[in-house]
Amino acid sequence: MKKFLGIVLSVIMVLALVAGCGGSKTEAPAATTPAPAASTPAPAATTPEAPADNGETMGTPDVDLNKFEPVGGAEEANGLEGAKIKLVVGTSVPITGAYNQGLIVMKKLLEGYSNGTMTLEIHGDSQLGGERDMIESVSLGSQDMLVTSTGPVGNYVKDFYSIDLPYFFQSAEEAYKALDSEEVGRYLMDQFYDQGIYAVNFFENGFRNTTNNKREIVHPEDLKGLKLRTMENNIHMATYSNWGVYATPMAMGEVFTACQQGTIDGQENPLQIINSNKLQEVQPYVSMTQVFYSASPMMVNLDLYNSWTDFERACFDRAADEAHTWERNFCQATLASDRADIEKVSKVTDVDIAEWAASEGVQKVYADAVSLGANQTVVDACNALLGR
């Protein structure tokens, strides 16, 4: 536990205090790369064979992957009629949200690469249930796919708590490097095999900011006494509780109404989620606390994935890979416009991130990190990758 606090908190505090950091003066020990358990078969090989006699050659999608703006609404979320494989995918965010915009891009890519034989049918706004419900449905095979925040994921794969620590990633680029690596990202995702799930890659949710309807929040102590919705996540709940908050886990689909009716005082989410859900209409104060980087794994039922041909898996994998890169770029490209939309209604306050990262509440989370579910080995692997 002391090792956890000494290594990780020193990295966080140094990085928080040094602007534009390219590395830490605190060296992390060499990482011990975790070895995934292999009690459930991994996905079958995804490299397609050379074009066969049946003419299975990838088509060319009509998608501009260098244009990062909204790509469609409810009509574009519908699956292509006549497709042999129609994958039902759910999210907890509105159709205008980044997850669903990225999935619409993936749908168009998949239809193009598969020559119209594969498509997605996208259901946003928790139409298929909350995130925890959808994870269980994909595990059981009653739902094909989802994109979820990491909020409920630690309930299934405990090691995910390691990347949910407060102020752990100092930039989106740091998060991408860790999440796209074999040592960290692939290791974490492969642990879902035992749940009957193939975790494909990580979409982006973004850095989470704090909103409320009571007062402007500038310092951690300003939070004391507020009742805030958090995700169902040990690390998140402990962090806010340490700051004197009544941390209240709640499904995303219930948050707007709970804020509107005063059931809760506020919540925390990335700007993109705040704006796409119009939370500024019921939350007059937004503080740029940036406490957690929120990654968003894409998941598909493992048996379903393994039932496809090599060609079908290759089309799916290529579309998923290109879509997750597009979705991340979309999130980054729309940060300024999301903030501008929110500022039309709410007061947006920038805070001293170094003060928040060095606060007693954060230090206590790191002291308790292992008992809360974080894995020292995963943290060491992240630190080694990021040159800490």
pLDDT digits (tens, 9 = 90+) for 70-117: 999 999 999 999 999 999 999 999 999 999 999 999 999 999 999 999
Q: Is the pLDDT of residue 19 over 50?
A: no
Q: Please, which pLDDT band fits residue 1 given cuts at 50, 70 and 90?
A: low
Same domain, 258 and 160: no
| Location of structure tokens 């630690």 | 154
* pLDDT surpasses 80 at 28: no
Which residues, including other chains, have CB under 8 Å from residue 5's CB and lie 6 or more apart? Answer: 363, 366, 367, 369
Same domain, 73 and 195: yes
Establish if 225 belongs to a structural domain: yes
Strands 293-301 and 197-207: antiparallel
Among 50, 48, 57, CA closest to 112 = 57
Do 329 and 347 lie in one domain? The reply is no
- Could you tell me if 153 and 106 lie in one domain? yes
Question: Is 55 within a domain?
Answer: no
Predicted confidence (pLDDT) per residue in 317-375, tens digit: 999 999 999 999 999 999 999 999 999 999 999 999 999 999 999 999 999 999 999 99
Locate all alpha helices (DSSP H) within the chain, ordered by sequence. Answer: 2-4, 10-17, 74-77, 98-113, 131-140, 172-179, 187-190, 234-242, 255-261, 271-276, 302-307, 310-333, 335-343, 353-357, 360-367, 369-372, 376-385
* pLDDT of amino acid 214: 98
Average predicted confidence (pLDDT) for the chain: 89
Is residue 44's pLDDT more than 90? no
Is 180 inside any structural domain? yes
- In whole angstroms, give the CA distance from residue 388 to residue 384: 6
The position carrying tokens 């990021």 is: 386
pTM: 0.88
Is 61 part of a structural domain of the chain? no
For residue 195, the Cα-to-chain-centroid distance in whole angstroms is 19
- What pLDDT is recorded for position 42? 54
Same domain, 283 and 299: no
Tell me if 385 sits within 8 A of 183, measured CB to CB.
yes
Rounded CA gap, 331 and 334, in Å? 5
Q: Which amino acid is at 159?
A: D
Q: Is the pLDDT reported for residue 22 higher than 50? A: no
Which residues lie across from 204 on neighbouring strands?
295
Sign of CA dihedral 81, 84, 88, 93: negative
Q: What is the pLDDT of residue 64?
A: 97
The model's pLDDT over 215-243, given as tens digits with 9 standing for 90+, comes to 999 999 999 999 999 999 999 999 999 99
Task: Find the length of the chain.
Answer: 388
Give residue-wise pLDDT tens across range 283-293.
999 999 999 99
* Residue 117 shares a structural domain with residue 259: no
Point out the least confidently predicted range of 49-58, 130-139, 277-286: 49-58
| Residue 348 and residue 364 in one domain | yes
Positive/negative CA dihedral, 348, 269, 102, 187:
positive
For residue 110, give both structure tokens: 């998949």
94 and 201 together in one domain? yes
- The reported pLDDT for the residue numbered 33 is 36
What CATH number is associated with residue 221? 3.40.190.170
Pair 79, 147 in one domain: yes
- Give the total number of structural domains in the chain: 2
pLDDT score for 56: 87
pLDDT score recorded for residue 211: 98
Q: Which residue has the higher pLDDT, 151 or 256?
A: 256
pLDDT at 159 over 80: yes
Question: Which among 227, 228, 207, 249 has a CA at the least distance from the CA of 351?
Answer: 207
Residue from 112, 122, 114, 121 nearest 313 by CA: 114
Confidence category of residue 55, pLDDT binned at 50, 70, 90 = low
Residue 49 in any domain: the answer is no
Residues 106, 238 within the same domain = no
d(CA 131, CA 203): 15
Question: In terms of residue numbers, what domain contains 271?
Answer: 209-292+339-373
Residue 218 maps to a domain: yes
Do residue 221 and residue 324 come from a single domain? no
Q: Cβ–Cβ contacts within 10 Å for residue 327, how many?
A: 27
Whole-angstrom distance, CA of residue 123 vs CA of residue 148: 13
**pLDDT tens readout for residues 169-197:** 999 999 999 999 999 999 999 999 999 99
Residue 216 covered by a domain: yes
Residue 45 lies in a domain: no
Measured in degrees and rounded to the nearest 5, phi and psi for residue 300 equal -135, 150
> Residue 21: pLDDT above 80?
no
Q: With contact defined as beta carbons under 8 Å apart, do 349 and 217 qualify?
A: yes
Q: What is the pLDDT of residue 34?
A: 39
The DSSP secondary structure of 205-241, one letter per residue, reads: EEE-EEEESS----SGGGGTT-EEEE-S-HHHHHHHH
pLDDT of 26 strictly over 60: no
pLDDT of residue 284: 98
Residue 60's pLDDT is what? 96
- How far apart are alpha carbons 36 and 157 in whole angstroms? 12
Query: In the prediction, which pLDDT does 158 show?
Result: 96
Tell whether 112 and 242 lie within a shared domain: no
Q: Higher pLDDT residue, 6 or 193?
A: 193
Rounded CA-CA distance 104/96 in Å is 10
Mean pLDDT of 255-281: 97
Tokens of 156: 């299934």
